[in-house]
Amino acid sequence: MSNILPSLSKSNDFFANPGRYAKMVEQKLHRLEAEDILGRIQEKDFTVWRKEDTEISNRLGWLQSPVVMQSALKEIVSFSDQIKSSGFKKVVLLGMGGSSLAPEVFRDVFGVSEGYPDLTVVDTTDPGFIRNLTNQLDLSRTLFLVSTKSGGTVETISLMKYFYNLVFKQLGSENVGPHFVAITDPGSGLEKMAKDLAFRKIFLNDPDIGGRYSALSYFGLVPAALIGIDVSKLLDEAVWMAERCQSTGTHRDEANTTRLGVLMGLLALNGRDKLTFFFSSKLLNTGAWLEQLIAESLGKEGKGVLPVVSDPTNTISAYRDDRMFVYIRLKKDHSHDAAIESLMQAGHPVICIHLENLYSLAGEFYRWELATAIAGVVMGINPFDQPNVESAKVSSREMVAAFIRNGQLPELPVTIEENQLIVASPVSGTSLAEHFEKMFAQLKPDFPEPGHKAYVAVHAYLEPSTEHTELLNRLQDRIANRYGVPVTIGYGPRFLHSTGQLHKGDSGKGLFIQIVDRCLTDCMIPDTAEGEESSISFGVLKMAQALGDREALGNAGRQVITVDLGTKVQKGLNYLIDTI
């Protein structure tokens, strides 16, 4: 049992030890309270972030989501019951970023209730994954949930056309529509498409809610209900948390939301910009949602907070002075208490958050959304835009257009070929090992000088699989423990909708390893949902996204080494690990 950490409970669920930053944190808290920042945010006063950026006021619908969505409970539960009684055994959610991460967390944390369909989230354009999933599906008993705020996300719409085409061919034009449901904003391209294609149902979300702030809207709650989660309990927990985040009344910021936001923002500005998480094992996959929320909201304008949600560092002494730690634990779980106490004794800032039960997760969604918005105030940035995301999209679109014109994508600028690996590197060398050695020589984790680097991000444009994840984790472990820096892993193109903004928008502290492969068997993307013609494949789209992001990173002054594994992915990954 803990000797230093206090005993936390549902009503006293937050503890923070900022260490030597305590005085600075208290001063900032008093300043924000004097300016009524929390109250002004809840009144949707955009001037807390920007004096003239009125568009922000149209991005704050999430503040009322817990209360507003209670009026949609009957509709959501009735729909879930209808799907359950209709004999569907599988729900396949097609979505990226904020449209997919909260549903994935709900599935991983709660599981599937007996009698309800299972949920698979598809947020990849990898043809191997798509082909394997297709072979496993009984299309006659599968419901496809097409989820995109904008209604035009290229991955989501491509996947929708592919699966709609399959169901259309197998079940016929009159039977395909009832297998598809849309969640999108009013007036989007997907809404029109869903009407034209006779989708079973269209859920129109509040357009004033951004993707990464949409966990407690239709985007998160509909998938949760479909797998048997009690969405009424989720919203009760979210409402309870929202009440504890008020700026006035008996529960005046009882949730310490302002304190959490100040700790994130202020410590990042003072060099502690690697926010490293520990979780109770049941909550581990919550990290993916937090990663997107924090990285995409706070990684811009030369500033950033790097969420580290999976860290292989073996010893407390290996952690540098660029870290702050967050421990999110379930009631009666003390598995990481000793480690957290050791971190505090070593002088690291620490936050501990207690969850009474799994449904408390909905309250955490709300607390972290609000705290992230407050961190934006502290850091002087707008947490609701993503200015650097579009650069990769533009480059990818140009790559696709070039393929349609010329029948091929641009070639990698090959620097070295070794053991059947093709490498494009920003440095020179006679071997792959020398290339990595020269790149990693720039890693200086303790308050790096200009030009020095402090983290490594691995972008894996590979099939998301258990085998590949295990190998990528070994790669992460090798780099982290050899060089003493945080190493993050992201599957592409999924990470583009998450940490991609941070990688191009922060102060340039990252080094990037991009890993691509060549598919043996590709999957074509239909030009239309019911048509036979096809202009590109998923393999081409995935490679175009990789090349586009490589170009965007380069244009932002980032160093990227691209390793093409060819068709032998596991062999190539093993060689890469041994080389580093």
| Positions in the chain short of pLDDT 70 | 1-3, 314, 445-451
| Helix residue ranges per DSSP H, 69-139 | 73-85, 101-110, 127-136
Tokens 């093709």 locate to 422
Tens-place pLDDT, residues 521-580: 999 999 999 999 999 999 999 999 999 999 999 999 999 999 999 999 999 999 999 999
Query: What domains does the chain contain, in order, with CATH numbers?
Result: 14-35+255-379 (3.40.50.10490), 64-236 (3.40.50.10490), 389-579 (3.40.50)
> DSSP string spanning 495-515?
GGGTTHHHHHHSSS-EEEEEE
Tokens 């990227």 locate to 560
Cis link prior to 448 (omega < 30° from 0)?
Answer: no
Q: Give residue 389's pLDDT.
A: 87
C-alpha distance from residue 289 to each of 161, 316, 485, 542, 556 (Å): 27, 26, 22, 23, 25
How many other CB atoms are found less than 10 A from the CB of residue 210?
A: 21
| Helix residue ranges per DSSP H, 410-519 | 432-440, 466-483, 500-505
How many other CB atoms are found less than 10 A from the CB of residue 196?
A: 11
Asked if 2 contacts 342 with a C-beta cutoff of 8 angstroms, the reply is no
Tokens 């340039």 locate to 508
Tens-place pLDDT, residues 284-327: 999 999 999 999 999 999 999 999 998 877 678 889 999 999 99
pTM listed for this prediction: 0.96
Q: What is the C-alpha separation between 487 and 505, in angstroms, rounded?
A: 18
Q: What is the C-alpha separation between 327 and 354, in angstroms, rounded?
A: 8
Q: Give residue 1's pLDDT.
A: 42
The dihedral region occupied by 285, where left means phi > 0, alpha psi between -120 and 50, and beta the remainder, is: alpha
Q: Give residue 3's pLDDT.
A: 61
Q: Give residue 235's pLDDT.
A: 99
Q: Give residue 448's pLDDT.
A: 54
Tens-place pLDDT, residues 46-103: 999 999 877 898 899 999 999 999 999 999 999 999 999 999 999 999 999 999 999 9
Q: Give residue 182's pLDDT.
A: 99
Q: What is the C-alpha separation between 520 and 12, in angstroms, rounded?
A: 55
Asked if 298 contacts 409 with a C-beta cutoff of 8 angstroms, the reply is no
Partnered with residue 326 across adjacent β-strands are 277, 351
Give the torsion sign (CA, 514, 518, 522, 528): positive
Q: Tell me the Cα Rg of the chain.
A: 23
Report the chain's terminal Cα–Cα distance, integer Å: 40
Contacts for 112 with CB less than 8 Å, ≥ 6 apart: 118, 119, 227, 228
Q: What is the C-alpha separation between 164 and 178, in angstroms, rounded?
A: 11
Strand 524-526 versus strand 534-537 pairing type:
antiparallel
C-alpha distance from residue 149 to each of 13, 97, 206 (Å): 33, 10, 9
Asked if 300 contacts 505 with a C-beta cutoff of 8 angstroms, the reply is yes
Q: Is 317 exposed, middle or buried (0-12, 13-18, 19+ CB in 10 A)?
A: exposed
C-alpha distance from residue 26 to each of 15, 193, 346, 371, 443 (Å): 14, 52, 21, 16, 33
